[in-house]
Amino acid sequence: MGNATTDSFFDDEVSRTFDALGDLAHPDRLFRPFCNAGLIDHRLFRKVDLQRMTDAKITCVLFNSVPRDWEHADAWVNTALSELTTKPWTTIVLHDIYGYPDGVDVRAMLQLDRFMSLAKDQGHEFLQEFSPDCVPIRRGKICFDIQSLTN
């Protein structure tokens, strides 16, 4: 998943995370794969990992907006606000990383409150739901054709 090539990727990145979260994990077992700067293509899922995700009843959440917050600590807000107006339902990916990888501008999340206030002022609302086109797998069931995302 996410350009992962090692056989242990699922165990290292997914199983270990859900084990660590235990009862704190969302009941839908939410997972967003690594997408290499927003790139969603044929390298997203390995067939073996896809099978393990369906067996584990995981919900895979993708996105339809990438304002590149890791590169533009201030400008991402305007990018995200603009993208809110171009889609009927926007699922934005933002990163709460701190200091990883080296050189990443960690100021981006300092703009989150400003972004949310401006978006609300423009009439947008925030939901704890995802655009259906951003959920290829829900509770282990494949929701639409993902052949183009699989290798």
- Walking along the chain (151 residues) 10 residues at a time, the average pLDDT comes out as 58 82 90 76 81 90 90 89 92 76 71 95 93 94 89 83
Q: What is the pLDDT of residue 133?
A: 92
Q: What is the pLDDT of residue 3?
A: 47
**Is 32 among the domain residues?**
yes
Q: Are residues 114 and 145 in the same domain?
A: no
Give residue 103's domain range: 76-121
**Is 100 among the domain residues?**
yes
**What pairs with residue 76 in β-bridges?**
none
**Is 54 among the domain residues?**
yes
Number of domains within the chain = 2
**Is 1 among the domain residues?**
no
Q: What is the pLDDT of residue 18?
A: 87
**Is 41 among the domain residues?**
yes
**Is 46 among the domain residues?**
yes
